[in-house]
Amino acid sequence: MTNNLKNTRPIVIAGPCSAESRIQVLAIATALKGHAHYFRAGLWKPRTRPNSFEGVGEEGLKWLVDVQKEVGLPVMTEVADAKHVELALKHGLDAVWIGARTTVSPFAVQNIADALKGTGTPVLVKNPMHADLKLWMGAIERVSHSTKGEVYALHRGFSSYGLKKYRNAPMWEVPIGLKAEMPDIQLFCDPSHISGKRELIQSVSQKAMDLGMSGLMLETHHNPSEALSDAAQQLLPSDLIQLLDNLTIRDLNLDLSQTSDIRDLRLKMDSIDEQLVELLSGRMNVARAIGDYKKEHGLTVLQLARWKEIIKTRRVWSEEVGLEEEFLKLVLEQVHKESIRIQTEILNSEH
Ligand code: PEP
Ligand code: MN
């Protein structure tokens, strides 16, 4: 980013998920002035399902130019193809980012890299949707080989089917792995897309700071519940200011450019345990649904034949991955006990 931000941490990029109107963009940017260093707004929105709001497109570029001129904040948007890059450059945007759905495709990234050839525009490369470190590195390399501008890595978490605490599991060991492989690349974090809901954004931002990341990208909207995309994860500008105020920025006693095997392993262990807890909670929700079914159909809670089948199939699975049989049996017994407790509670409840 610009040189005068060299000693600033976190560098704050804030703004709406999507630009919706000139008035909206200017209202948010005005509220963020003095707190954010860059203004973000998506113009071309990659949506999971068709018929969702797909962004205002080219029209929004002049609103971003108005933010530069009238509010005095540098601006950035997401580019997903060469045409977007061409338009962003033509309008003099200050930086661009590549989204997670684009990073998964080396062809798409190469086209963007080619369009950026020789320019000095800074680029933030989000991680791909899934936890593939090499794919993320490859995208950063493609862009770095082409542009003369700074290239940054932007961690936005990883899609994980069925796990629900986060919209995208942080798996902190992946960005740390990237830092170990590419020590010169500065890391940014996007707690909004990791969290998916407002309540988690503070703690995710704090974790990113504790890991020594350089900056945060935080989705901010003047009327979040009415936002045309990502309504549940956008913060009011006043909440963003409070969040930044609440952050504790510690001295970087852990130098991320130094590899530390024990730190990396602990991060990995934390991340696996967090997923284990979520999986266990998911399993209990299924036990609850089965409990409702049993109650409705007058079945007993303990079905012996089913328990025997569980023990048998899980024994085979544990053998396949080399887990001690006795250990697995103990774990399963506790899990089963809790399921039975939940279902007995359901059976004894009034409705
Ligand atoms: C965004 O930043 O609004 C966005 C679409 O993010 P991601 O690519 O991380 O899903
Ligand atoms: Mn978004």
Tens digits of per-residue pLDDT, 111-130?
999 999 999 999 999 999 99
Q: For residue 168, what pLDDT is reported? A: 96
DSSP code for 3 = G
Give 331 Cα–ligand 1 centroid separation in angstroms: 38
pLDDT for 241-272, tens place per residue? 999 999 999 876 555 555 677 877 888 898 88
**Residue range(s) of every CATH 3.20.20.70 domain in the chain:** 3-246
**Three-state SS annotation for 191-259:** HHHHHCCHHHHHHHHHHHHHCCCCEEEEEECCCHHHCCCCHHHCECHHHHHHHHHHCCCCCCCCCCCCC
Atom of ligand 1 nearest to the CA of 18: 3
Q: Which of 28, 43, 78 to mutate to test the pocket of ligand 1 (most atoms within 8 A of CB)?
A: 78
Backbone torsion region of residue 215, taken as left when φ is above 0, otherwise alpha when ψ lies between -120 and 50, otherwise beta: beta
Give 53 Cα–ligand 2 centroid separation in angstroms: 12
Of residues 203, 204, 200, 198, the one with CA closest to residue 221: 198
Atom of ligand 1 nearest to the CA of 97: 2
**Residue range(s) of every CATH 1.20.59.10 domain in the chain:** 259-348
Closest Cα to atom 1 of ligand 1: 17
Closest Cα to atom 3 of ligand 1: 17
- Cα–Cα distance measured from residue 40 to residue 154, given in angstroms and rounded to the nearest whole number: 14
Q: Name the closest ligand to CA 233.
A: 2
Give 76 Cα–ligand 2 centroid separation in angstroms: 14
Q: Name the closest ligand to CA 97.
A: 1
Q: For residue 207, what pLDDT is reported? A: 95
CATH entry 1.20.59.10 includes domain 259-348? yes
Q: Which of 13, 17, 135 to mutate to test the pocket of ligand 1 (most atoms within 8 A of CB)?
A: 17
Q: For residue 265, what pLDDT is reported? A: 84
The helix/strand/coil state of 169 is strand
Of residues 273, 102, 274, 137, the one with CA closest to residue 204: 274
Residue 184 has phi, psi (to 5 degrees) of -85, -10
Give 219 Cα–ligand 2 centroid separation in angstroms: 7
Amino acid residing at 254: L
What would the DSSP string read from start to end of 290-325? HHHHHHHTT--S--HHHHHHHHHHHHHHHHHHT--H
Q: Name the closest ligand to CA 125.
A: 1
Low-confidence ranges of the chain (pLDDT < 50): none
Write out residues with Cβ below 6 Å of ligand 1. Answer: 17, 42, 46, 78, 99-101, 126, 156, 190, 193
Q: Thinking of the domain 3-246, which architecture would CATH place it in?
A: Alpha-Beta Barrel (3.20)
Q: Which of 152, 190, 216, 220 to mutate to test the pocket of ligand 1 (most atoms within 8 A of CB)?
A: 190
- Cα–Cα distance measured from residue 250 to residue 247, given in angstroms and rounded to the nearest whole number: 9
C-alpha Rg value of the chain to the nearest Å = 23
Q: For residue 84, what pLDDT is reported? A: 98
Q: For residue 226, what pLDDT is reported? A: 96
Question: Six-digit token pair at 11?
Answer: 């560098």
Q: For residue 161, what pLDDT is reported? A: 78
Q: What is the pTM of this model?
A: 0.88
